[in-house]
Structure 1
Amino acid sequence: MSKFQDIIQGEKPVLIDFSAEWCQPCRMMPPILKQVKQQLGDRIRILKVDVDKNPAIARKYMIQNVPTLMVFKKGEVKFRQAGVIPAQQIIGIVQQFL
């Protein structure tokens, strides 16, 4: 978990996709996140966290539904929403924190 903490402490916004292999809607997120990365490039870091493989992180952030997207900057939660979100909406949200 300390590596996760190091990652979310940075100046650069970090978009976390909390997901699980068994989750059908979670399978819709990779192409959406690819679009986000293509548009925002190195201005953002995108991380996928499997809640089943990282239960301590999932517990700490009280992840109850997957997918859940969170944006961190300097260790603070700037945005959080459960469910599949379109790429353009995610880009608009992240741009507020660049």
Structure 2
Amino acid sequence: MIVRIMGEGQVRLADWHFAELNRLDDELLAEMETGDEAGFRRTLHALLGRVRELGERLPDDSLEPSELILPSPDASLEDVRSLLSDDGLIPPL
């Protein structure tokens, strides 16, 4: 799956990584619901960090369609709320 981190570029991730990423996404969603800004920030950075670690960065000139778009690391709680679906940022596979 091709994942875009807004403002950074794209990475290719194998499907088997999404169970771990979904756990972080669930934590992020819970923190957003309670308004836990510090927890939200920590979990967002952890989620994006794992995507970067687990994924293979694509060249900047690559024009692959992104199947998933994640917010930038400096996104606000409100910015991320606008990107959410009923399943959070990362839909179950």
Of structures 1 and 2, the one with the larger relative CO (CA 8 A, separation 6+) is 2
TM interval, shorter chain, is 0.3 to 0.5
- TM-score, scaled relative to structure 1: 0.31
Between Structure 1 and Structure 2, which shows a larger proportion of helix residues? 2
- TM-score, scaled relative to structure 2: 0.32
